[in-house]
Amino acid sequence: MRFVIFTHSLVSDWNNGNAHFLRGIASELLSRGHELAIFEPESGWSRQNLLREHGQGAIENFHKAFPQLRSALYDDRTLDLNQALWGADVVMVHEWNPPELVARIGRHRAGRDYQLFFHDTHHRSLSDREGIAAYDLSCFDGVLAYGTAIRNAYRALGWGLHAWTWHEAADIRVFRPLPSIEKVGDLVWIGNWGDGERADTLREFLIEPVRSLRLRARVYGVRYPQEALRELAEAGIEYGGWLPNHKVPEVFARYQLTLHVPRHHYVEALPGIPTIRPFEAMACGIPLISAPWKDSERMFSPGEDFLFARNGKEMISHLKLLLKQPLIRSRLITHALQTIRSRHTCAHRVDELFSFIGSPVAMSVPEGKT
């Protein structure tokens, strides 16, 4: 089959977590012998920020790490959809594409026999409904939503004719344990500071516990204002800046523990959606402690795959326990690896994708199409 994907960026993961999942899905499709064309805008904000801060070398390093993956840059003003979509069997359009392009692809779909899906991996369906409502999905076959809360939003508001839950997962070709690498520290956290919406949560579950226990800790990510950098330094936390995602397994291997600190939207409005970082951490075999979120979709087994900390005091208690008890760390690692490998790999998600593609709903011609 020939797959065509319109994404925000394949090559840049600068503040672009969807690139992690896309790379894994693309690699899995190619390994199964399918054809694949990926298009990304040459002016995309993730790519432009990566180039501005790290230069062309960052993109060259991506191609060295993923030699099998390629994307075509396009300009909205000159994109020829007849050429881009020639021979397509399945087309996926990510929700960070502009509404005008989404509508153009939808019009192109009318009267043609490829299957067209809208891929939503963000909280805007609940936090910015007007923005998402601007997308014309009337000619789409359905929505691939990375959580049931998002799927239900589309179903309830009629934004997509059909919707399926399609969680993210770990690319275990990349994310795997590296036991031969020597440990250099206690704790590492990989995540972006963002707009400060979880600053208090980071202080409670990351900064203050590290300060209190005097841990050897390091943080990686982007969009850290000077005030945040000052707080990290005062707590004795090193700041590593942007980390290419394919380098994450090497970094995890150097530390005893990592954390998951979800954004407020995922705690309050999107229960059951852990984002991709916990999948990747557990696939790398590093013990994980998470700040609160509701695993309403039973993705994991809390207490066996990772530990939940309800507050900063409990985070300190869990950190002490895991740093002093290698047997408990080992049990968490073993159980989490089994959970990821049996349920949450990109191979599992491609299997799910094919079930959506082959379902009678997706293969039918929705009302209003010609």
Reported as a single tens digit per residue, the pLDDT across 237-274 is: 999 999 999 999 999 999 999 999 998 777 777 788 88
Please state, in angstroms and rounded to a whole number, the distance separating the CA atoms of residues 87 and 219.
Answer: 45
List, as own/partner pairs, every contact residues 324-329 make where C-beta atoms lie below 8 angstroms and the sequence separation is at least 24, other chains included: 329/256, 329/257, 329/287
Fold match flag (2-169+346-363 vs 185-343)? yes
Question: For position 271, what pLDDT does the model report?
Answer: 81
pTM of the model: 0.94
Residues 287-324 have pLDDT tens digits of 999 999 999 999 999 999 999 999 999 999 999 999 99
329 neighbors 271 (Cβ within 8 angstroms): no
Q: Which CATH number fits the domain 2-169+346-363, given the four candidates 3.30.460.80, 3.40.50.2000, 3.40.50.10490, 2.60.120.200?
A: 3.40.50.2000
Residues 65-105 have pLDDT tens digits of 999 999 999 998 899 999 999 999 999 999 999 999 999 99
**In which element (H, E) is residue 74 found?**
strand 72-74
User: Hey, how many other C-beta atoms are within 10 angstroms of the C-beta on 78?
Assistant: 6
Domain map (residue ranges) of the chain: 2-169+346-363, 185-343
Please state, in angstroms and rounded to a whole number, the distance separating the CA atoms of residues 136 and 104.
Answer: 9
Q: Please say whether the structural domain 185-343 has been given the CATH code 3.40.50.2000.
A: yes
